[in-house]
Structure 1
Amino acid sequence: MEYTNLGRTGLKVSRLCLGTMNFGPATTEPDSHAIMDHGRELGLNFYDTANVYGWKLGEGITEKIVGTWFAQGGGRREDIVLATKVYGGMGEGPNDKGLSARHIVAACEASLERLRTDHIDLYQMHHVERSTPWEEIWQAMDLLVAQGKVRYVGSSNFAGWNLVQAQESANRRHSLGLVSEQCIYNLMTRHVELEVIPAAMEYGIGIIPWSPLHGGALSGALRKLEQGSAGRSTSGRSAEAVEQHRDQLAAWEKLCDERGVDPAHLAMAWLLSRPGVTAPIVGPRTSEQLDGALASMDIDVDEALSSRLDEIFPPVGHGGPGPEAWAW
């Protein structure tokens, strides 16, 4: 396993991040525990979850599964850089969601209880909250850091200008501020290259891509549909992408065949080669899928291959950051 710094911090994390969103809804607790154990055996030390995962209001099902795994001991908690999130609704009340200081602190306490730990390594804002001033948000986050309940703070689904707002506000408080941004980023969804990634790199904020396979569309969806083994490729974001981008995906799968690589592995390898990327999130439903994800680390995405991929999945505008991507 390869390791890198999380953004500009001294914290070392694995180049792949284990996502747990399937734990509970799609993967049983025993199987989830087995996947986390296997990830640890493979050297993955970066695990990501969220208080809303499990998708039953206020229950925090996925965090509880991670917590029962930690409770088994054996150095599990000590070995893992644990990331979770705050923002989504965790109750029926008007203050049971968002990024008010009240909710941030209450949600952190609840997550700590479900996760059976005394601290969260990376506490991420799951979405931007435009109705709450940054001074209030950082007051709450700084309190949690001072209390030892949170080590670092990150964001998720922020625009580039949100990153600037957040970091400049933190700088005025002499706080460390954001160290990571978790955003959707894959070959089919490259808009973060315009503003988000340039802003993040300027401030030393590590990029943690979610949906690296675009919901399964980049995992060989066309071939799987033909074979009747599509799984995720027949629903959600993947189904829409397959319908709208069939020609692109056909060219993509042909290229993968020519190279003798699994489409999912090449899609992940491309992300690992991109500037500013710390660790893409892999969301395996089985330990075997986790093994497959590690194969992406052995694929070299050289300039020629990168150019071929740009031909199939063109970047936004002229490519690269704005304003050059769209201006003369």
Structure 2
Amino acid sequence: MQYRKFGRTGLSVSRLCLGTMTFGLQTEESVSHSILDKAAEAGVNFIDTADVYPLGGGENLAGRTEEIVGRWLKGKRDRFIVATKAVGKVGPSPWDQGASRKHLLDAIDTSLRRLGTDYVDLYQLHSDDPETPLDETLEALDVIVRSGKARYVGVSNFLAYRLARALGRADVLRVARFVSVQPRYNLLFRQIERELLPLAGEEQLAVIPYNPLAGGLLTGKHRHDTQPAEGRFTATVGKAGALYQERYWHKREFETIDTLRAIAVDSGASLTKTSLAWVLANPLITSAIIGASNPDQLTDTLSAIDLTLNAELKAQLDDATHEYRWGDAAR
């Protein structure tokens, strides 16, 4: 395993981070623990979860993933960097969501209880909350950091201009500053290269992208004319399945995958390893979040850390997916 400094902080994390959003719905607890064991054995010391997980579980199952991770962490908490997130809806009350002071201060305590720990290393806003003033959110996060319940704070799914404004307001208020950003990033979704990644570079933010394999599409195992029987594109995960279909399940994407598969075959590596290695090859990427529904799925992704793309291969991949830097306008 390789390790890298976490943005401008003194923290070091593994270049692969284990995402856990399948734990508790698609993946039962015993299998989830086997996945965590395999990742840890490979040197992964960074685990990412969220209070709304498992994916597709809805309010009734919100928190189950944190509980599964917490039981696995018992007796070895000090060996891992643990990140969780809040903002999504986790209960029936109107205030059981968002980035208000009330919700965040409640949410961190609930997450800590589920995880069985006194603190998380990274506490993230799962998404932007335009309904709550940024100052209120930043001041609440500062309380969480100063209380010792989180070592650092970060964001996920933020537009570049909102993140820039939040960084500026944190400096004015002299409160805890965001140290990381967790965006979607892969060969089929490159829009963050235009504004978010340059901002992260200038501000020395850690970048921990999710979906590096486009929800499994970049494994090459799916076909456009065949509906998947399992995984993130199915009705099993409820609205999330529809979301993933909307993101990636299009003729253009499958045609691109055929091109990428041919490039990978010529290079002698699998499409999975090549796609993940491409994400890691970007010097602004700190750690890529990988997921699995069973331990065997980690074999290829964990080995991607050892694959170095030469300049010619990287240029081929860049050229084949250049249109994905521009979003739906190119469709």
What TM-score do you get using the length of structure 1 for normalisation? 0.90
CA contact (8 A) 2:45 2:81 kept: yes
Q: Deviations over 1:283-308 (max 9, x none)?
A: 01222222321211121112211111
The Cα of 1:70 is off from its aligned counterpart by 1.8
Q: Secondary structure at the match of 2:322?
A: coil
**Secondary structure of residue in 1 paired with 2:182:** strand
Q: What's the counterpart of residue 86 of structure 2?
A: 86
Q: 1:52 to 1:107 in 2, by over 3 A?
A: same
User: Which residue in the other structure is 1:185 paired with?
Assistant: 185
Distance in 2 separating the partners of 1:317 and 1:274:
14
Residue 230 of structure 1 deviates from its aligned partner by 7.5
Q: For structure 2, list consecutive stretches of 5 or more residues without a partner in the other structure.
A: 235-240, 327-331
2:287 counterpart (276, 279, 292): 279
Determine the structure 1 residue equivalent to 2:6: 6
Instruction: Please give the secondary structure, in 2, of the residue aligned with 1:245.
Output: helix
Letter in 2 for 1:57: E
Which runs of structure 2 are paired with 1:1-328 in the superposition (5 Å)? 1-54=1-54, 55-57=57-59, 59-71=62-74, 73=75, 76-221=76-221, 231-232=230-231, 235=234, 236=241, 237=244, 240-241=248-249, 243-315=251-323
Q: Is the 8 A contact 1:52 1:60 kept in 2?
A: yes
1:95 match: secondary structure: coil
Contact 2:223 2:254 in 1 (8 A): no
Which range is displaced more, 177-186 or 295-304? 295-304
SS in 2 for 1:110: helix
Letter in 2 for 1:40: A
Give the Cα–Cα distance (whole angstroms) in 1 for the partners of residues 206 and 320 of structure 2: 27
Q: Shift of the alpha carbon at 1:211?
A: 0.7
| Seq. identity, % | 38
Aligned-residue offset at 1:60: 0.6
Structure 1 Cα separation of the partners of residues 228 and 151 of structure 2: 42
- 2:238 is aligned to none
Unaligned stretches of 5+ residues in structure 1? 319-328
- 1:93 CA drift (Å): 1.1
Q: CA deviation at 1:224?
A: 10
Indicate if the aligned counterparts of 1:122 and 1:153 stay in contact, CA closer than 8 A: yes
Supply the distance in 1 between the matched residues of 2:224 and 2:36 (Cα, whole angstroms): 27
| Deviation, structure 1 residue 231 | 4.5
The number of residue pairs the alignment matches comes to 315
Q: Which has the higher contact order (CA 8 A, sep 6+)?
A: 2
Conservation of the 8 A alpha-carbon contact between 2:8 and 2:206? yes
Output one character per residue of 1:14-36: Cα deviation in whole Å (capped at 9) or x when no partner. Answer: 00000000111111111111211
TM-score by length of 2: 0.89
Answer whether contact 1:157 1:183 (CA < 8 A) is retained.
yes
Deviation at 1:122, TM superposition (A): 0.3
Q: Contact conserved, 1:217 with 1:233, CA < 8 A, in 2? A: no
How far does residue 249 in structure 1 lie from its aligned partner after superposition? 1.4
Cα deviation digits, residues 151-178 of structure 1 (max 9, x gap):
1000000010111011111111223411
Q: Is the 8 A contact 1:163 1:200 kept in 2?
A: no
Inter-partner Cα distance in structure 1 for 2:276 and 2:17: 12
Question: 4+ residue stretches of structure 1 with deviation over 4 A?
Answer: 222-226, 228-231, 233-236, 315-318
1:321 aligns to what?
Answer: none
